[in-house]
Amino acid sequence: MFSLVDEEWIPVLDAAGQRRDVSLTGLFAQAAELRMIACELPTQSFAILRLALAILHRTTGGPPGVAAWRALWQDRELPTTEIADYLDEFRDRFDLLHPEHPFYQVADLRAAKDNTYGLERLIADVPNGMPFLTTRAGPGMDSITLAEAARWLVHCQAYDPSGIKTGAVGDPQARNGKGYPMGPGSLGSLGGVHLEGQTLRETLLLNLVPVAPGWQVADERDLPVWERDPQTAGEEATSTRGPYGVLSLYTWQSRRIRLFVEAGRVTGAMISNGDRLDWQDRHLREPMSVWGRSGPREREQKRTPIYLPRPHDHSRALWRGLQTLLPAPPPPNAEPPQRLPPMVVQWLARLTVTGVVGADFRARTRATSVTYGTQQAVVDEVFTDALTLNVLLLVEDSALRTTAVDAAADAEAAVTVLRRLATNLARAAGSRDTDSGAADRAAEQAYGLLDRAFRDWLARLGPDSDPAAERAAWQRRLRRAVERLGFELVEGAGPNAWTGRTLTDQHGREVHYSSSQAEAWFRTGLARALPMATESSHQRQEEAA
């Protein structure tokens, strides 16, 4: 027996920054004293957070509305007695080694030849077939503890890559001992977003969006997997599997899994196909993702709108796509919005407007997602990023929200001017690197320089901030940073760029490119991109002081 209710298996950080493991009971009992769930991968932490939220949703009965949520928020502790009673009621379903219904597994799952399989199928940070790319090798791949196996089990149901799986005996869709690709795990398609408070208690409550009219949709069939009949080897019928609400989605069984245990340690895992999930128009059931309209599906199905989860762009820092996280102002016409922010963000905005959460409250918005490689069969990259925001930025008609989004656009505009300078200098020097190479390197350097500056500026915005003054201050700071990079590019351009050369532009006109001309264009471009950055001598003296 290895009960996840009592055994310590969830890594956390306490208020002092010390890492330790807790059980499910300990997670809720100590939530007010803990900082966060802190697993090996951010995707692991996100998947376990959703598991904890399913338990909290079930224990609080939704919660059924704003009043119930407010009572939870105002209490100093989570309802630990009710949570403990609930976990005790379903204790045997949280047993990782139960002989009939082991947690998140199928007890009698087997292949036709009774094969056993290694841990590389379960552990996401071990590239299958490329062990030289990981620090986990040798004895580290022979076996793992039951606690670590439990974490990877939850992660596998959420993020397991697509590709050919082992065909399970009893699965009618398996052919020749193989289960053919059905897509990645349930969270692999999401642009996952959750809110982090000062403590784990705050984090759990901030993401506990009520199952109530106007918010999450669900019905009486919505249950977590441990309250339903144990899964079998085959995919559950579409008529009964749902998802019926957030409980189904938070505990969705994307795979059929069986852990192999020897001498109290897990030595391998069999992983087969489970329940496929179509994410179309699930935005009223799934509160922790960015959503966008799907043009191809709208044309195919001849109706609008159709929404699908929008994964994060792993090549861009989160602040550069700030507008996708925040509630957008209503469109000027009756056209449905092109994007929808996560419902957890909309919920916190509502709490701010109604005064349940104070206007000076700050939360950290964290994004988490995965990119997959060839045919979604391998994990290419795990992405996480976070921004600390005052809650007023989440309100759709807030002047601070507009200021923050416009400030991020200012940075993009300034970097575009810098990219143009790098290209013009390359042309002046006679370099062949005029298409994108020089510009890309300049932009990368600029975003690296601006990253911390923008995050610090954004975190300082609050109810006492003057939106116009804050944006003007940001533009001045931005201009100084980009000007410095631009002048460094000009100084390093070399004598050939100083002399320059004449080229024919796309309109057939002859244009002379030189470092001095490129610098003049650069100054003009920055002035146009950042019109609020004009500094008086008095302002320069104040900021230098």
Task: Decide which of 318 and 510 is more confident.
Answer: 318
Q: What per-residue confidence (pLDDT) applies to 475?
A: 97
- Shared-domain flag, residues 349 and 406: no
Contacts of 528 (CB under 8 A, 6+ apart): none
- Shared-domain flag, residues 379 and 484: no
What is the tally of structural domains in the chain?
Answer: 2
Cβ(489)–Cβ(532) under 8 Å? no
The CA-atom distances, in angstroms, between 327 and each of 339, 344, 361, 398, 490 are: 9, 11, 18, 10, 41
- Shared-domain flag, residues 374 and 437: no
Q: What per-residue confidence (pLDDT) applies to 539?
A: 53
The CA-atom distances, in angstroms, between 534 and each of 367, 405, 476, 479, 526 are: 35, 21, 7, 9, 10
Instruction: Provide the residue range defining the domain that includes 290.
Output: 1-395
Q: Which of 361, 395, 429 represents a domain boundary (last residue)? A: 395
pLDDT score of 544 more than 90: no
pLDDT score of 207 more than 90: yes
Ordered DSSP codes for 390-429? EGGGGSTT-HHHHHHHHHHHHHHHHHHHHHHHHHHHHHHH
Mean pLDDT over the full length of the chain = 92
- Shared-domain flag, residues 316 and 407: no
Ordered DSSP codes for 88-136? HHTGGGGBTT-SSS-TTS-TT--BTT-----GGGT-TTS-TT-GGG-S-
Cβ(418)–Cβ(291) under 8 Å? no
Q: What per-residue confidence (pLDDT) applies to 333?
A: 78
Q: Which of 377, 395, 413 represents a domain boundary (last residue)? A: 395
- Shared-domain flag, residues 440 and 508: yes
Residue 379, judged by CB atoms within 10 A of its CB (0-12, 13-18, 19+), counts as buried
Chain segment 361-386, per-residue pLDDT in tens: 999 999 999 999 989 999 999 999 99
Q: What per-residue confidence (pLDDT) applies to 382?
A: 93
Q: What per-residue confidence (pLDDT) applies to 132?
A: 40
- Shared-domain flag, residues 375 and 478: no
Chain segment 388-407, per-residue pLDDT in tens: 999 999 998 899 999 999 99
Cβ(407)–Cβ(454) under 8 Å? yes
CB atoms within 10 A of CB 71: 12
Choose the weakest-confidence range: 56-65, 122-131, 510-519.
Answer: 122-131
Q: Which of 353, 379, 395 represents a domain boundary (last residue)? A: 395
- Shared-domain flag, residues 379 and 410: no
- Sign of the torsion formed by the C-alpha atoms of 238, 46, 354 and 57: positive
- Shared-domain flag, residues 424 and 387: no
- Shared-domain flag, residues 324 and 409: no
Q: What per-residue confidence (pLDDT) applies to 128?
A: 47
Q: What per-residue confidence (pLDDT) applies to 497?
A: 87
Contacts of 478 (CB under 8 A, 6+ apart): 410, 411, 414, 450, 453, 530, 533
pLDDT score of 434 more than 60: no
Ordered DSSP codes for 326-385? SPPPPPSSSPPPSEE--HHHHHHHHHHHTTSS-TT-EEEEEEEEEEE-GGG-SEEEEEEE
Chain segment 157-197, per-residue pLDDT in tens: 999 999 999 999 999 999 999 999 999 999 999 999 999 99
pLDDT score of 467 more than 80: yes
Look up tokens 């002092």; give the residue: 16
Write down the pTM of the prediction.
0.92
Rounded to an integer, the average pLDDT of 226-232 is 96
Per-residue pLDDT band for 140 (boundaries 50, 70, 90) equals low
Q: What per-residue confidence (pLDDT) applies to 508?
A: 78
Query: How far is it, in rounded angstroms, from Cα 328 to Cα 342?
Result: 11
CB atoms within 10 A of CB 159: 27
pLDDT score of 421 more than 80: yes
Q: What per-residue confidence (pLDDT) applies to 214?
A: 85
Write out the two tokens for 445. Answer: 């350097």
pLDDT score of 295 more than 80: yes
Q: What per-residue confidence (pLDDT) applies to 476?
A: 96
- CATH at 424: 1.10.132.100
Which residues face 340 on adjacent strands? 291
Residue 275's nearest CA partner among 294, 255, 291, 257 is 255
Phi, psi (deg, nearest 5) at residue 515:
-65, -35
Rounded to an integer, the average pLDDT of 470-495 is 95
Task: Decide which of 148 and 493 is more confident.
Answer: 148
Q: What per-residue confidence (pLDDT) applies to 397?
A: 85
- Shared-domain flag, residues 374 and 429: no
Chain segment 11-34, per-residue pLDDT in tens: 999 999 999 999 999 999 999 999
Query: How far is it, in rounded angstroms, from Cα 332 to Cα 328?
Result: 11
Chain segment 86-138, per-residue pLDDT in tens: 999 999 999 999 999 999 999 999 998 877 788 998 998 654 444 444 545 55
- Shared-domain flag, residues 445 and 428: yes
Rounded to an integer, the average pLDDT of 519-544 is 77
- Shared-domain flag, residues 375 and 507: no
